[in-house]
Every structure is written in structure tokens, then in C-alpha cells.
Amino acid sequence: MFDLIIRGGTVYDGAGRPGIQADVAVSGGRIAAVEPLPAARAARVIDARGKWVTPGFIDIHTHGAAGVDVNAATAAQLNGTIAHFFASQGTTGWLCSVLTDTPEQTLWCLDQAKAAMKEEGDWAQLLGVHLEGPFLASQYKGAMPEHLLQKGSAELFAKYEAAGEGAVKYMTVSPEVEGVPAMVRDIAARVKVAIGHSGAEYDAAMECIANGAVSATHTFNAMRLFHPHQPAIMGAVLESDVYCEAICDGRHLHPGSVRFLLKMKGYDRVIAITDSIMAAGLPDGNYKLGVNDVIVEEGDAKLKDGTRAGSTLTTGQAFR
């Protein structure tokens, strides 16, 4: 007797193989079997014929949804509003991305995330914190508040790390910012480091990768692009084995660019992210992203100067 059987769907296992027709049995919140189970009984049965059945999505880069911005979200809002909405869209785990902010506000965000991570409920489980900054390049800042950007500082990171008590899992830095390469070397054993928001030269990017950086933040976006004589950070990202985030909403990346990235990196090195803001799941209007005012028109989120500021994407839309 299983708790749940999802019957007759086309099961996608994420390994790049065509979907298979099967039943998915669940016990104790975990997958117990993926195979035809015609005679099996369950407390609950879902008819999935004609539908896809996929593992739950994990979003490692998002700034909010359903009217709540991560930088201003209480623990109750992180779980009860943002994560509850994410669960309705197929996400089962996520990292909350804290946009570059004051040290005081960043520490407050870490306190809220720690509290949220300790709770379980009918929402996507908060797995940790992604710090997007403050060690980022002003020229490629995107929606980052320039007056809050800083030089690389292992000491400041250590302060956030200690306050987070294990909550800080992921961090975005710019290789060309003073002090960043050395900082990456110092912290890479304790946190997953991504490079992005950057116009770094190839050698500087490669130095950070050699020092332990393992990922690239929203690849192609807020990043100096490839040139045959100056491959820059883009060339370093494509040549190396780092993971590549990608915002697959049809706005940040042309579908051909997504296919190109998948061919260059392989499916096991490309991570679909939403980079969503509080407007995800809501109509056009005026919203916030950290300290920024954001205008959403036809689902496209931008600052007043036209700079794109996150997205209104969901993981299900990104998968499709």
C-alpha cells in the first residue's frame, strides 16, 4: 500500500532520455517505484495520462514571487507566500537570492532565512541563501545598487557566513573587482562561488575558476561577451567545466542561444533558473527588487532606465 500513485504519465527522469510510460509510487514523501504498477493500491491516486511527470524543480537563483521580495521577506513570507507559490509551480526546493544591500539588511535577511529553513510545510523547502553581491563590477551591475558595491573582502563574507550558521550556500562575485580572486581562493571550500555581473578579461576569470569558482551567474546576461581576440569571461565560462545558469524566458536569451549553450556545456552543466522577482505570478505593474523600483510591462521586468531587472519566470515555464 503506497501513499500515492501517479498513474500513466510520461515520466521524465532528467537524464536526457525520452520519457517512459510508467506509474510513480510515493511513500513517506519519497519516490518508492517508477514502473508499471497496475495492481498496486494507494491512499490517493492521480490520473496523469496525457501528462508529463517530472522530478520537483530546484531554483537556485530567485529574488521572490507572489508580491514578496526576498530582501524584505520575513521567515513567514519566505515560506508561506514565496515558497507556497513556488510549490504550486512545481518547485520543491530553492535558494533565496539576496540582492546587494546594506550589511545590516543582509544580516536581517540571513536571520529570516535561517528561521524559514527550520520549518517544513506545504511549500518548496528553502535550502539556503544565494548572496548576489556585494563584490560585483559597477560596469555590469544590472539592477545592483552601485553605491552598495564593494571590493572583495573575505572578512565581510566571513561575517555573513557566521551569521548564516550554514545558510549561505552560494555566492556571485565579479573576477575583476579588487580582492575578489584572493577572496575566492579563501572561501571556495566553504561556499559555492559563481562569477558574473562582470566584464572580466579571460585571464582574470580563469584565475577565479582555478581558485575554486564553480558556476556562472545568468550566463550571457550582465556579462562581457565573447570576441575571438578577447574571449573575456564568456570564453572562460564556455571553455571551462563550470556550471552555467540560464534564464530561459525567451527574453533574456534567444532560444537559439539556449540551444548553443546546451551544445557547448551539455545538459549536466546548464542550470535553468528563474531570477524571478516579487512580480512572478502577478499582473503588470510597479514592484520592488531590493532597493530598486521595477516596472513590469507585458511580463518584462525593467528599471526606469530600461535595464532588465530579473524576471517574472517560473520553473515550469523555464522547463517548457
C-alpha torsion sign, points 111, 106, 274, 150: negative
Burial grade of 279 (CB within 10 A; 0-12, 13-18, 19 or more): buried
Q: Name the nearest CA neighbour of 134 among 110, 99, 175.
A: 99
Instruction: Please give the radius of gyration of the chain, using alpha carbons only, rounded to the nearest integer.
Output: 20
Active site residues: 275
CA dist., res. 269 & res. 245, Å (int): 9
